[in-house]
């Protein structure tokens, strides 16, 4: 009797569960509720237990990137987990196509949003690490370029994410991409000079033709690189003023970078008067060698009596500087000039200057 009552009650219960409600049954709704609760519990365990354990593990490591990844997971809001649980649960029931698409689109949009935010944080972290290292070595130009590239990349992530979301929604993005391409070309033409300077700055960063602190010569201008920005580079000239040059101009001209030199080769000349005796002329190379030998940073290469010029007997001197600093080069050249002046005064040798001798022949009337 009891078994028959139990069988009748079970049949009633199963019949109740199979009672249709729209396109689903009561059993389907109960399954959805159960899956939803189970999903929430699993995700809650993941967030509060596993993530907490990951934190303890990463806290013991020296790397920082793992701490960032755990932080990204920990910062995900509960609304995201609830929406994910709801999406998993409704897969066990039949929904109207409109509602199913809405739930799917909501999940895609929210998941894409948090994925982009996480990618941006990773890109920003890597950029900050590189910038910190560059600033320690006073490479502020590198820091500026890396920061700009980081911002461009982070902005591009949103564009790519938007296109992916539209593609998942069934939108044909081919025409949209083509339209963006045409619009990009128009913007590129409008900002042509600005973009050229920016790309030139990036080229300077990767190619490194010069860095801050380098002494360079650009045509008739010379000075020390003080700042390299995204659009312009600033040079402190020897006269003291600041010279601002566009990066586009810098990458399209010849630059003489003296800081890259390991040694500086210097050629200079001087002349003495024609009435200098031959004996003293022969002693001049030895005088120059003795002067240069007494200067620590200079290494003499050669001294030669070069030519008979219009007003002077010319000598040519070649020596090397063991440093590339321009000021030290000028100090050395000054010391050599003082030495020559001092020795020539003692030896009564005169430096030549433009003179002209007029010889007059007297003709007698006989």
What CATH number does the domain containing 235 carry? Answer: 2.30.30.60
Which single residue is written with the structure tokens 């619009």? 183
- The DSSP bridge partners found for residue 256 are 217
Tokens of 80: 């995201």
Backbone angles phi, psi at 275, to 5 degrees: -85, 10
124 with 214, same domain: the answer is no
Tokens of 341: 């002046």
Q: Distance between CA 266 and CA 280 in Å, rounded? A: 25
Q: Distance between CA 136 and CA 366 in Å, rounded? A: 94
| Residue 303 included in any domain | yes
Number of domains in the chain: 3
Q: Which residues contact 115 (CB under 8 A, 6 or more apart)?
A: 161
111 with 211, same domain: the answer is no
Q: How many CB atoms lie within 10 A of CB 89?
A: 20
Q: How many CB atoms lie within 10 A of CB 290?
A: 12
| Residue 9 included in any domain | no
Q: How many CB atoms lie within 10 A of CB 130?
A: 16
pLDDT in tens, the chain (366 residues): 555 555 555 566 566 556 666 666 677 777 778 888 888 888 777 777 777 777 777 777 777 777 777 787 777 777 777 878 887 887 777 767 677 777 778 888 888 888 888 888 888 888 787 777 766 665 555 666 677 777 778 888 888 888 777 777 776 666 555 555 555 555 545 455 656 666 677 777 766 777 777 888 887 888 888 877 777 888 888 788 888 888 778 777 788 887 777 778 899 999 999 989 999 999 999 999 999 998 988 999 999 999 998 889 999 999 998 887 778 889 999 999 999 999 999 999 999 887 666 656 665 554
Final residue belonging to a domain, choices 239, 257, 275: 257
| Residue 366 included in any domain | no
Q: Which residues contact 275 (CB under 8 A, 6 or more apart)?
A: 350
59 with 155, same domain: the answer is yes
217 with 281, same domain: the answer is no
234 with 342, same domain: the answer is no
CA dihedral of 279, 280, 285, 287, whole degrees rounded to 10: 130
221 with 331, same domain: the answer is no
| Residue 31 included in any domain | yes
Tokens of 266: 């210097």
Tokens of 3: 């078994």
Which single residue is written with the structure tokens 């090397």? 320
30 with 135, same domain: the answer is yes
Q: Distance between CA 269 and CA 284 in Å, rounded? A: 12
253 with 269, same domain: the answer is no
288 with 249, same domain: the answer is no
| Residue 10 included in any domain | no
Q: Distance between CA 170 and CA 65 in Å, rounded? A: 36
* pTM: predicted TM-score of the whole model, two decimal places: 0.49
Tokens of 97: 């196509």
Q: Which residues contact 160 (CB under 8 A, 6 or more apart)?
A: none
| Residue 57 included in any domain | yes
| Residue 360 included in any domain | no
Domain enclosing residue 273, as ranges: 264-347
């Amino acid at each position: 009797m009891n078994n028959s009552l139990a069988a009748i009650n079970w049949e009633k219960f199963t019949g109740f569960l199979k009672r249709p409600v729209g396109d689903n049954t009561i059993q389907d709704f109960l399954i959805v509720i159960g899956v939803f609760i189970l999903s929430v519990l699993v995700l809650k365990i993941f967030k509060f237990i596993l993530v907490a354990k990951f934190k303890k593990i990463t806290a013991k490591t020296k790397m920082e990137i793992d701490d960032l990844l755990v932080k990204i997971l920990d910062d995900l809001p509960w609304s995201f987990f609830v929406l994910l649980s709801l999406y998993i649960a409704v897969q066990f029931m039949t929904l109207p196509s409109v509602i199913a698409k809405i739930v799917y689109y909501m999940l895609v949009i929210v998941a894409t949003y948090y994925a982009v935010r996480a990618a941006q944080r990773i890109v920003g972290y890597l950029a900050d690490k590189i910038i910190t290292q560059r600033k320690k070595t006073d490479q502020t130009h590198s820091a500026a370029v890396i920061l700009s590239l980081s911002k461009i990349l982070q902005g591009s992530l949103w564009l790519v994410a938007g296109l992916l979301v539209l593609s998942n929604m069934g939108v044909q993005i081919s025409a949209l991409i083509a339209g963006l391409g045409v619009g990009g070309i128009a913007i590129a033409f409008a900002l042509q000079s600005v973009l050229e300077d920016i790309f030139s700055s990036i080229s300077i960063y990767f190619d490194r033709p010069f860095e801050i602190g380098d002494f360079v010569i650009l045509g008739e201008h010379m000075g020390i690189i003080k700042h390299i920005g995204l659009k312009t580079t600033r040079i402190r000239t020897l006269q003291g003023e600041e010279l601002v040059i566009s990066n586009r101009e810098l990458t399209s001209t010849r630059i003489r970078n003296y800081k890259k030199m390991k040694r500086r080769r210097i050629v200079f000349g001087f002349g003495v008067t024609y009435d200098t005796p031959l004996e003293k002329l022969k002693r001049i190379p030895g005088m120059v060698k003795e002067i240069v030998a007494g200067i620590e940073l200079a290494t003499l290469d050669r001294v030669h009596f070069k030519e008979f010029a219009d007003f002077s007997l010319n000598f040519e001197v070649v020596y090397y500087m063991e440093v590339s600093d321009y000021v030290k080069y000028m100090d050395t050249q000054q010391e050599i000039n003082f030495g020559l002046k001092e020795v020539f005064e003692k030896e009564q040798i005169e430096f030549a200057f433009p003179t002209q001798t007029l010889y007059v022949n007297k003709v007698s009337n006989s």
